[in-house]
Structure 1
């Protein structure tokens, strides 16, 4: 453990971070070095029953009475994970300020949704943004524009941890890397201690808040759901993970399992009403010989949407007891030629530490993330409409699944993507679209069935205004 002692003294000397962050970081590293990774015994995995993963359509309806609804909503805080930058889509600021539809950003839509709830029921649902040191300054400037809205908007920062140099396990900042490159945010599992350390948790508890709804800021389907909140309050569930049926696009997503066997957990587990423990199984924990089985839609039919509902008192109890020992996800990176390691945790993995934790198998409409410009094409198209800040799927689409869309690297950045479409094509009857090369789309185009458009190398291919393309492969103007 000599490594750890050297690291402790090096971290103690870092002036950029708080004592809480230093302690949290050392704690994470010592767990990692002790090799406490939990090995899953494949034979002990079971499919969760409907008591543990509750079908959404079996939930009782939410209260009819507006006064009861107000009472319910006044127990709620909405927290969006806002630490990510839009770098994969060629943007420099927080991802939540990318324009999604009708000139409105992710954050605009979130604010409109909560404003409508607060106006309709006269309740006070606050919005909390968990930023990272990467998004904090920009977010504060952006949030300013909502100062006249009827929502309390709070922000806090998740922890800032030093990247570890693989070679000698020293913190990168102590080697002179004092810029942002020396640091990393340790994954969204950090939401629980950071909410507490920021003082926000105690403030919300003192206002009578009971539950926090946590979701990724880029998931347009993650809207407040009264049926879910009502179910949790009635059944005293401390934690709920929304899961949804897997499609071939989600085979790598984490899934919920019931796990028999000796799980080394806190004693809290003994109070659980189930004989097995519900937990999140991520692809990284799956033994190599079972990866194909994990990806199969037959055996593991659901995956984690990262929409989580968690009891605030339970968060306080578990953080104070230092009981949230989520699986550590090692994330190797390279910074200026130096190999470094980031140790991260995921909020979904905390499910096994809470009492009466459940999953709810929700409709696919609650999972609409925008991770790439291909997703942006979906939500900007006629497949969706915008009502009161909610992105709602067009009923004219017969197929319950969305078309699969693959756009080439020319479309990867948002700016390039937008410039290549005079208007977004109609895709209500589209099954799949694949675009490669230097392709430009005119206005009023309709795509149906299976469409593949591939420009020849070095040739600009323009799809003319008003073109209707159905079940076609296009390699040049002559094919249109």
Structure 2
């Protein structure tokens, strides 16, 4: 039955003119693996906590050479690659998420460019920036990068694969059933970075320039900056792959973690965990670290493994309903590739290297006085003594960036805030200070305005009378 399904699908895919032969074969191979049911199940009893040799504590890394010339040599072996395929739709934006303004009028992309520019300028190095787009973000990104043409940084863009969504009940590609617009297609997750880097010609280009490592990170993670200690360590120890992990908090219990499994380091995702062990997986006592998706990978190793078709990462089936049609998209994650590389390690990095902006509550953190901006680097305010960030929950009225910005005359001071919970039609004046635990709830149909200059400490506000 599976063979029949695959044969029908293969025939239909062969007729799709919108994608390349590489994309067709990549897609068919993914579907074939999915249909064969080759999913490897993790045997819980074989899972071990990795040692410090496998997940190296950041503090144990040697300090890199302070010599300018030596630092330049190290940097010239590096390329930076940002995953730029995501749209800002969850935050109510059109176009690539990386062009949302984060701070002082700068977008994610502006900050990334400024960071690499200041490195290149300081050390006389040539660290290029690569942006992996999806077909959703490609055209917009090309227009946006034009503004950096005068910068001292080589910027390359390339597209990740475009695969057809599969109509679930007939198991046929949706575009061959007539859905030829964007909705008929999907980008198959960031695990696709390795073949796409190769197929685009960018991998060979980097190797010809003498680059040895690529630092891969999500474009919305403001903490993912080039780190000389990590680069120095990898080059000296010849590690082919490094995943930055950081200690879990209760907010990260679903994040993938590194384990030692049958003598190899491996990423364990919640989807692979047997139901009986899900609570154990979420425990921050047993699984203390999670994947930040900041990855450092050796370029020659990528070439070797892609050419051997050896990167068989776990398949993530993602069923969706689009325009009333049930479709299936199969994806892979870049972190899952760790087990295929030689001498792969994790490095347990400070939490400051993981500062993603997934929602407007994250945007409030990075726009507040909790952070300052220097040379494109977002740095935490030392006046905050609590090592963890305040927890912020904003109601649906704040979900879209435009609405969020409109409801704050200026972003409140939150250096001494523990938690903030806002629900209902709430509006903030300017120069407000929030401390301790603050809950603000506007009753249905009531507009609640927090006045300019208000200082709210450990307050529960349900109406103007509580101010």
Query: Is the TM-score greater than 0.5?
Result: yes
**1:400-452 deviation digits (Å, cap 9, x = unpaired):** 00000000000000000000000000000000000000000000000000000
CA–CA distance in structure 2, aligned partners of residues 469 and 113 of structure 1 = 36
**Within 5 Å, which residues of 2 pair with 1:224-243?**
224-243=226-245
CA–CA distance in structure 1, aligned partners of residues 418 and 273 of structure 2 = 32
Who is 1:451 aligned against?
Answer: 438
Deviation at 1:336, TM superposition (A): 1.0
CA–CA distance in structure 2, aligned partners of residues 382 and 102 of structure 1 = 12
**1:429-478 deviation digits (Å, cap 9, x = unpaired):** 00000000000000000000000000000100000000000001000000
Who is 1:343 aligned against?
Answer: 330
Instruction: Determine whether 1:163 maps to 2:150.
Output: no
Deviation at 1:13, TM superposition (A): 0.1
Who is 1:12 aligned against?
Answer: 14
Instruction: Determine whether 1:104 maps to 2:106.
Output: yes
TM-score, reference length from structure 1: 0.97
Instruction: Determine whether 1:434 maps to 2:436.
Output: no
Who is 2:4 aligned against?
Answer: 2
Who is 2:287 aligned against?
Answer: 300
Who is 2:135 aligned against?
Answer: 133
**1:73-115 deviation digits (Å, cap 9, x = unpaired):** 0000000000000000000110000000000000000000000
Who is 1:200 aligned against?
Answer: 202
CA–CA distance in structure 1, aligned partners of residues 278 and 430 of structure 2 = 44
Instruction: Determine whether 1:466 maps to 2:459.
Output: no
| CA RMSD between the two structures | 0.3
Partner SS state of residue 423, structure 1:
coil
CA–CA distance in structure 2, aligned partners of residues 458 and 254 of structure 1 = 42
Deviation at 1:335, TM superposition (A): 1.3
CA–CA distance in structure 2, aligned partners of residues 111 and 175 of structure 1 = 42
| Structure 1 portions without partners, runs of 5+ | 261-275
**Within 5 Å, which residues of 2 pair with 1:73-472?**
73-260=75-262, 276-472=263-459
TM-score, reference length from structure 2: 0.99
Query: In the comparison of the two structures, how many residue pairs are matched?
Result: 465
Who is 2:59 aligned against?
Answer: 57
CA–CA distance in structure 1, aligned partners of residues 184 and 12 of structure 2 = 14
Deviation at 1:224, TM superposition (A): 0.1
CA–CA distance in structure 1, aligned partners of residues 466 and 250 of structure 2 = 30
Match of 2:73 among 53, 71, 88: 71
CA–CA distance in structure 2, aligned partners of residues 120 and 383 of structure 1 = 27
